[in-house]
Amino acid sequence: MEKLIITAAICGAEVTKAHNPAVPYTVEEMVREAKSAYDAGAAIIHLHVRGDDGTPTQSKARFEVIMKAIKQACPDVIIQPSTGGAVGMSNEERLQPVELKPEMATLDCGTCNFGGDDIFVNTENTIIAFAEKMNAYDIKPECEVFDKGMIDMAVRLAKKGYIRQPMHFNFVMGVNGGISGTLRDLLFMKESVPEGSTFTVSGVGRCQLQMATAAILMGGHVRVGFEDNVYMSKGVPLKSNGEMVARVAEIARLLGREIASCEEARKILGLRTAK
């Protein structure tokens, strides 16, 4: 079984310091959390950015400042900007970090209810436009899928040449409005991707650790972090992103999987900087 790639989603767009005081907003806080995850074994930092007051933003300038600061602290880490942004942002807003030409970026592959009146909208044309922009900059898309139908959409667009193969997926499981975080559904998702694809599993909330462990056993990769869960265990807040990364790395080693370095992750995913 290949080595395990751990991704740390260090802040997201929805969680706040009210949920956990360690959620980062400022440049310094972002660097602190990225470094904690990197030191614990994360090869990829999945990045949303905030203003100093915590307001989500897709500002190219803000991404550039934070990405450079993270790279100074973690020179070889893979930074994966989100093009999801926050609910209600325009496509133009969401695409801004792609202009920085990162190695990877997320490509959301469908529309999803996020609870209440919130709808995360990704039409087929939006997905195509985002994929074409990533292709133009030689950016590896991580196809972010919240249910089985989004896998089908991504595969359909790959067959039409919009998404390059081999594909890499992120199964986001346990979100209100998406597929549940159960072993049955994870197996269903895993068996639905094309042969030769790689996949990461992001368990949200209480299912994070169970989904991470199952992903390790199934040969997939794992995403953890404050974006998806702010607790170490029931009622016990995480002290840092690195704390959960360290737990996943420990579980992986106990189950016989080594942790991928940043360069090993690049080779597994076929990123353009792989040597």
Residue 67, pLDDT above cutoff 80: yes
* 132's tokens: 């074409």
Q: Residue 195 belongs to a domain with what CATH number?
A: 3.20.20.70
Q: Can you give the pLDDT at residue 25?
A: 98
Distance CA 243, CA 89 (A): 31
Q: Quote the distance between the C-alpha of residue 34 and its chain's center.
A: 13
Distance CA 196, CA 193 (A): 9
Global pTM?
0.97
pLDDT category of residue 87 using cuts at 50, 70 and 90: confident
According to DSSP, the residues that pair with 110 across neighbouring strands are: none
What does the pLDDT look like over 16-64, one tens digit per residue?
A: 999 999 999 999 999 999 999 999 999 999 999 999 999 999 999 999 9
Q: What average pLDDT does range 88-96 have in this prediction?
A: 95
Residue 198, pLDDT above cutoff 60: yes
Q: What average pLDDT does range 253-262 have in this prediction?
A: 97
Q: What average pLDDT does range 211-218 have in this prediction?
A: 98
pLDDT category of residue 275 using cuts at 50, 70 and 90: very low
What does the pLDDT look like over 156-191, one tens digit per residue?
A: 999 999 999 999 999 999 999 999 999 999 999 999
pLDDT category of residue 273 using cuts at 50, 70 and 90: low
Whether residue 275 is contained in a domain is answered as no
Q: Can you give the pLDDT at residue 86?
A: 87
Phi and psi (nearest 5°) for 11? -150, -30
Whether residue 38 is contained in a domain is answered as yes
Whether residue 153 is contained in a domain is answered as yes
What does the pLDDT look like over 99-154, one tens digit per residue?
A: 999 999 999 999 999 888 989 999 999 999 999 999 999 999 999 999 999 999 99
Whether residue 274 is contained in a domain is answered as no
Whether residue 135 is contained in a domain is answered as yes
Whether residue 233 is contained in a domain is answered as yes
Distance CA 261, CA 41 (A): 8
Q: Find the domain containing 177 and state its range.
A: 6-269
Q: Can you give the pLDDT at residue 274?
A: 45
How many domains is the chain partitioned into structurally?
1
Is the preceding omega at residue 166 within 30 degrees of 0, hence cis?
Answer: yes
Whether residue 1 is contained in a domain is answered as no
Q: What average pLDDT does range 210-215 have in this prediction?
A: 98
Q: Can you give the pLDDT at residue 272?
A: 78
Distance CA 81, CA 45 (A): 8
Whether residue 88 is contained in a domain is answered as yes
